[in-house]
């Protein structure tokens, strides 16, 4: 009887620990979502943090993004779009 009661007690303790963990997780995600509703995106985004630490890469990415955007939206009507493209056969070295 005593052993049975102990087992039941242990199971109950385990169950309550698990439910506390789940509740904690739900609260954490709820907070993250709440932050997203206020700021649009999280302040501590790991990817953004990495970019902040390396602004040069961010600048290069931004420039390439702008060039690609202008190419994407020009729909072939923009004569200046050709300027962004290297001459045929050019070998482009990776970013130093």
Partner 1 sequence: MTGVRWRFCTRWDEEPAAVLGMSLLRLGICRPADWSGSAVDFVERGFKRFCQQHGNQEVKKVWVGDLRIMDYIFDLSPRERDEAEAEAEEPKTVLYLVGDYEAAASIPIGATLPHLEREHELLPAAFYEGFTTNLWKWMRVYDYSAAKEHAEMWTDGLNEEEIKESVYPKVATELPACMGRHGRKFKAKGAVQFLHQVYPQMHSSIARQLVKYVLEMDAAGRGFTHAWPGQISDNDTPSLGDWLNDAEDCRPGCLITWYENDTINACFDEEAQHMGENGPCQPNVLLGINLKKPAAQLDRQVRKVFDHAAAMLASLASAAKVVERVREIYDEYLREHRLNSGFQTEPSPADLWQE
Which residues make up the interface to partner 1 (CB under 8 A)? 22, 25-26, 28-30, 32-34, 36-37, 39-42, 45-47, 72-73
Cβ 46 to partner 1, closest distance in Å? 6
Neighbours of 6 (CB within 10 A): 10
Cβ 77 to partner 1, closest distance in Å? 13
Residue 51 · residue 58 · CB < 8 Å? yes
- For partner 1, the closer CB: 7 or 29: 29
- For partner 1, the closer CB: 47 or 87: 47
CA-nearest of 94, 62, 21, 81 to 13 is: 21
Cβ 11 to partner 1, closest distance in Å? 23
Token pair in block for residue 42: 């999280």
Question: What gap in Å lies between CA 67 and CA 57, rounded to an integer?
Answer: 15
């Amino acid at each position: 009887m005593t052993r049975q009661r102990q087992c039941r007690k242990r199971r109950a303790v385990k169950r309550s620990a698990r439910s506390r963990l789940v509740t904690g997780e739900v609260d954490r995600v709820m907070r993250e979502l709440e932050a997203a509703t206020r700021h649009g995106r999280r302040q501590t985004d790991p990817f953004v943090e990495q970019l902040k630490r390396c602004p040069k890469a961010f600048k290069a990415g931004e420039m390439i993004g702008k060039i690609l955007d202008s190419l994407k939206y020009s729909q072939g009507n923009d004569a200046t779009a050709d300027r962004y493209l290297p001459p045929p056969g050019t070998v482009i070295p990776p970013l130093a």
